Amino acid sequence: MNFEYTKAQLDLKDEIFHFVKHSINKLGFIDEKRPFNAKEWKEVGKLKIQGLPIPVEFGGRGFDALTSTIALEELSYHCEDGGLPFAIAAQMLSCLIPIWKNGSDSQRNNFLPKLCDGSYIIANSITEQETGSDIYGMKSTARQEGGDFIIQAQKTLITNAPLAGWSLVYVATHPEKRYFGGISAFIIDHSLSGVNSNLELKKLGLESVQMGNQSFENVKVSEKDLLGKLGAGGPIFQSSMEWERACLGAVHLGRMKKILDFSIDFVKNRNVGGNPISKYQSISHKIADMKIKIETSRLILYKAASSLDSNKETGITASIAKLYISEAYRTMCYDAFSIMGGSAYLSGSFIENYIKDSLSSTIYSGTSEIQRNIISGYLKI
């Protein structure tokens, strides 16, 4: 196993660092208390970060999954707002990957270049209020009428929904079949009659990410809007979730590195009893544990991303990565809170937004409980 970054990966890390420093952060157009807009999203698209793993022929950067993950980690570390890297990764992994892997030539040529450069924004629309983790028991339906489909769907907690112009919408076409042939995926234009994707939700964390409810009432779409084959939505979604579980942890890892850097500086400069608190073993051990979590997370993350590149069994590795990194991220936030003491409890403290953002990390892409179900299933227990 080679743990060294390649020259191409080092160059990409450097490219992202300078772009974030001199464009995203310097311009100050991202404020973690204010949702970013389409203009700001397009600014990021100048570097085609949204299309890191998408082939060059479709407007992307053409990087493998591992290199794309390294880039997301770098983006998350340097970006002052934690919401932007999350939103970019969520769209890339849950929407661009399925279109690239399953789309028709027309869909790939029409959507991917503009999604990669930030001209388009698309939302992954699957979550429903009543089904929760039982996604294949969804109530949303598509009724076929000749060569068209009539969509009836109510979706919730959809990342980028109020900002997007399109959605990748999963609906039941044969509900009784569930995962095996029961679900289909459609790319739906938000300008169609019956689509309402403007219902923004207020959240506890990731405040700069626009998230909302969606309503699709008697929306007519054609067969050309179907992604892949009729009934193939289950495997399409499952594949996208393997990418998301394997790679999204890069965003958390970047934030974890920021927490460690801050915490080291804090304990060296915070004095109690005439000594920096770094001299107290109870404090230094917390810092050591943070470092262990980061190094372990990176190894698991890179292994999961590499499994995507090698076309090996990704499911269990992706679930391990998602479970471990999200819980390590949340734990590190509370450790930093403990180290900072009373100053962390004040509004506007360094750790405030990190804590709020980390709370959702064990929920999206499948809860920690779901990941444990998947892992135990692979172990045949």
Nearest Cα to 83, choosing from 249, 206, 180, 193? 206
Short-list 9, 137, 114, CA closest to 54? 114
Whether 50 contacts 88, CB under 8 Å: yes
Quote the CA–CA distance of 280 and 292 in Å, as a whole number.
19
Taking the C-alpha atoms of residue 52 and residue 137, their distance in angstroms, rounded to an integer, is: 33
Whether 158 and 172 have beta carbons less than 8 Å apart is answered as: no
Q: Measure the CA–CA gap between 303 and 110, rounded to whole angstroms.
A: 33
Q: Please confirm, yes or no, whether 176 is among the known catalytic residues.
A: no
Residue 271, φ and ψ in degrees, nearest 5? -105, 135
Q: Which two tokens stand for residue 154?
A: 């109510």
Distance CA 248, CA 275 (A): 40
| Residue 101 CB-density burial (10 A; 0-12 exposed, 13-18 middle, 19+ buried) | middle
Please give the Cα distance from 41 to 50 (Å, whole number). 9
Distances (CA, A) of 147 to 144, 152, 156, 223: 7, 17, 28, 6
Contact in structure between 155 and 149 (CB atoms under 8 Å): no
Among 244, 313, 327, 352, the one annotated catalytic: 244
Query: Which helix (H) or strand (E) segment is 319 a member of?
Result: helix 315-340
Beta strands in the chain (DSSP E): 122-125, 141-145, 148-159, 166-172, 183-189, 195-200, 211-222, 226-227, 271-272, 275-276
Whether 131 and 157 have beta carbons less than 8 Å apart is answered as no
Catalytic residues: 244
